[in-house]
C-alpha cells in the first residue's frame, strides 16, 4: 500500500485502521487551532488606520503589500489542494487532513475580505497587486511554474517518473509557497503587532501562521513518506534540483522583503528580514533531509513563540463578544 496508491487495496472510504498516524495528528492540531476572522475585533485597527500619526506611510505600504500578496496566494494554494493534491493522495486519513486544510484556506481567504471591508480598502487595488507589483508577481509565477505537472488535468501517476514529477510539484506548493514565500510577510505583520499597531490584523496573521505551520508539517511528512515508499526517485540529481529551487525561492522572498519594506520597520532593517528567510529555508531543507545552505542564525526568536500552539493564550478573551461586521464598526 502507498499513500499515492490507486490500486484495489486502497479504499478511500475506509479510514480505520489508519496507516499514517502523522496525518491524523495534523488534523487534530488543525482542529485545535480553529478560528474565524470575525471573532477578532478590528475596532482599534480602524482607529489607527484613520489616524495620520499612528501608522507611518512605510507601515501602510507594507500592510497593503502583504494583504495584496496573501489574498491571491491563499486562493492559489486552495486551488492546488482541491484540483491536484487531493486527487492523487488516496489514503483516507491524509485526505481527511487535506479537507481540513481546504477549509482553513477558505477561512484565510475570508480573513482578507474581512480586512479589506473593515478598513475600507479598494479591493481592485489589493487583489490586482499580483499583476502590478513585480516582486509579488514573480513569486506567484514561480509557484505556478513549479506546479505545472500536477495542474495538468490529464496528469496521472503510473511510473516512477510520474511520482518524481508529483514530488517536485508538492515541494513547490508546500515547502516553497507555504514554507518560504509566506514568512517575510508574517515577520513584518507580527513585528507591527509587537508594537501594538494594527493588532487585529496582526492577530489574524498570527493564526494564519499557525495554520500554515501545520500545513507545512503535513506537506513535509507527505514528501518524506513518498520518498520512503519510492526511494528510487530520490536521486542525487533530483536532490540538487530541489535544493536549487529552494535557493531560488529564497532570492525571490528576499527581494520581496526589500521591496515591501525598503526603509525597515520599527528598528528592524531589511537585511534582518532576509536573514530570517535564510534561516527558515535551512529549516525547510533539513525537514526533507537536505543539507543546510545558509547557516544563518534566527534574527527573530519571537517568531518561534508566535507559532507555538502550546503557548496559546486564551483566545476567548480576545474574541468579539458581539460580532461586528465592517458596516457596524465605528469609524468616527
Query: Rounded to an integer, what distance in angstroms lies between the CA atom of residue 164 and that of residue 56?
Result: 47
Query: Rounded to an integer, what distance in angstroms lies between the CA atom of residue 100 and that of residue 35?
Result: 13
Active site residue 294: no
Buried b (16+ CB within 10 A) or exposed e, 62-101: bbbbbbbbbbbbbbbbbebbeebbbebbbbbbbbbbbebb
Query: Per the residue annotation, which of 20, 27, 97, 114 is the catalytic one?
Result: 114
CA distances from 103 to 20, 28, 188, 243, 332 (A): 21, 14, 25, 30, 35
CA distances from 264 to 121, 200, 201, 254, 268 (A): 24, 22, 19, 13, 5
Query: Rounded to an integer, what distance in angstroms lies between the CA atom of residue 329 and that of residue 327?
Result: 6
Query: Rounded to an integer, what distance in angstroms lies between the CA atom of residue 44 and that of residue 330?
Result: 10
| 40 strand-pairing partners | 319
Query: Rounded to an integer, what distance in angstroms lies between the CA atom of residue 185 and that of residue 183?
Result: 5
> What is the distance in angstroms between the CA of the first residue and the CA of the last residue of the chain?
62
Residues known to be catalytic = 114
Amino acid at each position: 500500500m502507498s499513500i499515492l496508491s490507486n490500486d484495489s487495496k486502497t479504499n478511500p472510504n475506509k479510514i480505520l485502521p489508519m496507516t499514517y498516524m502523522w496525518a491524523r495528528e495534523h488534523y487534530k492540531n488543525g482542529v485545535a487551532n480553529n478560528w474565524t476572522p470575525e471573532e477578532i475585533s478590528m475596532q482599534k485597527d480602524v482607529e489607527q488606520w484613520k489616524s495620520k500619526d499612528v501608522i507611518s506611510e512605510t507601515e501602510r505600504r507594507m500592510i497593503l503589500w502583504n494583504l495584496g500578496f496573501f489574498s491571491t496566494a491563499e486562493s492559489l494554494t486552495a486551488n492546488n489542494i482541491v484540483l491536484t493534491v487531493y486527487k492523487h493522495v488516496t489514503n483516507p486519513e491524509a485526505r481527511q487532513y487535506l479537507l481540513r486544510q481546504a477549509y482553513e484556506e477558505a477561512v484565510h481567504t475570508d480573513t482578507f475580505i474581512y480586512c479589506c471591508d473593515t478598513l475600507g480598502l479598494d479591493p481592485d487595488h489589493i487583489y490586482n497587486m499580483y499583476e502590478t507589483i513585480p516582486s509579488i508577481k514573480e513569486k506567484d509565477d514561480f509557484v505556478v511554474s513549479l506546479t505545472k505537472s500536477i495542474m495538468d488535468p490529464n496528469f496521472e501517476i503510473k511510473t516512477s517518473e510520474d511520482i518524481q514529477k508529483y514530488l517536485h510539484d508538492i515541494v513547490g506548493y508546500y515547502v516553497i509557497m507555504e514554507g518560504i514565500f509566506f514568512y517575510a510577510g508574517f515577520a513584518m505583520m507580527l513585528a507591527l503587532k509587537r508594537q501594538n499597531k494594527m493588532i487585529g490584523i496582526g492577530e489574524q496573521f498570527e493564526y494564519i501562521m499557525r495554520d500554515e505551520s501545520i500545513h507545512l508539517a503535513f506537506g513535509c511528512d507527505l514528501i518524506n513518506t513518498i520518498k520512503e515508499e519510492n526511494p528510487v526517485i530520490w536521486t542525487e540529481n533530483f536532490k540538487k534540483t530541489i535544493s536549487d529551487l529552494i535557493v531560488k525561492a529564497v532570492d525571490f522572498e528576499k527581494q520581496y522583503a526589500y521591496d515591501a519594506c525598503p526603509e525597515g520597520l520599527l528598528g528592524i532593517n531589511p537585511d534582518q528580514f532576509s536573514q530570517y528567510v535564510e534561516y527558515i529555508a535551512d529549516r525547510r531543507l533539513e525537514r526533507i533531509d537536505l543539507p543546510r545552505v545558509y547557516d544563518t542564525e534566527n534574527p527573530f526568536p519571537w517568531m518561534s513563540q508566535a507559532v507555538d500552539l502550546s503557548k496559546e493564550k486564551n483566545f476567548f478573551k480576545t474574541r468579539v463578544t458581539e460580532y461586528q461586521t465592517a458596516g457596524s464598526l465605528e469609524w468616527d
